[in-house]
Amino acid sequence: MALSRRMAAPVVFVVLLLVATGTCAAETVTARVVADETHCLSQSHTFKGMCFSSENCASVCKSENFPSGECKMHGATRKCFCKVVC
């Protein structure tokens, strides 16, 4: 019983390490695909106030005929920027 308790921690650690490594590899491939696309940004003309929700920003950008949008820092404030693949 004492041997199995001593072996449990390293076995759990190795399993978690393998799971984490698999997840990171998938994210790297996804990041590589997104990096190949160049996005052009344009500050929204109709969004009012500071941008706290990228979902709100994307909704406003869609009304301005952009496919998506996100909040980004611009100086000391967060503004809504609409994105399109260039």
Judge whether 39 and 86 are in contact, CB under 8 Å.
Answer: yes
Do 32 and 43 fall within a single domain? no
Do 53 and 12 fall within a single domain? no
**What pLDDT, on the 0 to 100 scale, is given for residue 16?**
55
pTM over 0.95: no
Do 2 and 44 fall within a single domain? no
DSSP track, 47-78: --S----HHHHHHHHHHTT-SEEEEEEETTEE
Sheet-wide strand order for 39-43? 39-43, 77-85, 68-74
Give me the amino acid identity at 59. S
∠ at Cα 33 (27, 37), nearest 5°? 135
**What pLDDT, on the 0 to 100 scale, is given for residue 2?**
56
Do 46 and 72 fall within a single domain? yes
**Among 2-11, 15-24, 65-74, the range of highest mean pLDDT:** 65-74
